[in-house]
Every structure is written in structure tokens, then in C-alpha cells.
Amino acid sequence: QYEKCKKFNIDKITESDKREAFQNKIKEINDNRANKEITVEDIWVDFKTAIIIEAEKTLGYQGKQDNREWFNEECRESINLKNKKYMERPTRARNEAYEEGKQTRFAGKRNKPF
């Protein structure tokens, strides 16, 4: 199975102190890396890791959001009706009773004079 992707709480980036702390930390990491001779791939991995770590520390993750605004009382009623109809589906006992009812109904018609 897959691991659910966590989302950063980007609403906190609008707070100036959080934004400045995040920017300063990224600049600090970038300045420390400038003194070293490394490949582009290493630069990318370091930069990506730095952003993720600082975002975790500074911003944190979003909480679980409730996306069920569309689910209202009308939906609940229709689901309950559907479940009730499902429970009324034909069973062996109901089919036998139905067949017996048909037989008695036809027997009554056969015995009637025209």
C-alpha cells in the first residue's frame, strides 16, 4: 500500500515571523553549501531535504480536513431508503410465499365459472 502524502500547513507562511524564519534558515543552508564543491544532483538533494526539514519545523502539517460538506440530511434519508429497500429484497421465504400466493390466486380464477 502507499503512504498518504502529508501536506504542510501553508497558512502559517503568511505570518511574517514564520516566513522570515523559514527564509533565513533556507538562506543559511544555501550559504553553508556554497563553500563546498558538489554536483548539481547533490545540491538538489540538499536543497530539497533542507526545505522539507525546515517546513516541518516552521510550518508543521495540516490537520485532517472534513470534505463532507455535500453530505446533508437529504443524502442521509436517501441512503436510509436505499438500505431499507435492500433489506426488502427477495429471499427464499418471500419467493415461496409469493409463489403460493400466485397459485391460490390462479386456483381461484380456475374454479370460477365463466
Q: What is the DSSP letter of 10?
A: G
User: Within 13 Å and on the Cβ side, how many CA atoms surround 107?
Assistant: 6
Range of the domain at 21: 10-58
- Does residue 47 fall inside a structural domain? yes
- Checking if the pLDDT of 113 tops 60, the result is no
- Does residue 98 fall inside a structural domain? no
- Alpha carbon of residue 49 to chain centroid: 27
- Does residue 24 fall inside a structural domain? yes
The model's pTM is 0.47
More confident residue, 32 or 42: 42
- Does residue 77 fall inside a structural domain? no
Selection from 50-64, 67-81, 84-98 with the highest mean pLDDT: 50-64
For the chain, how many structural domains are there in total? 1
Selection from 13-17, 84-88, 91-95 with the highest mean pLDDT: 13-17
Which candidate, 25, 78, 79, 68, places its Cα nearest to that of 47?
Answer: 25
- Does residue 82 fall inside a structural domain? no
Q: Which residues pair with 8 in a beta bridge?
A: 61
Which residues touch 47 (CB under 8 Å, ≥6 apart)?
29, 30, 33
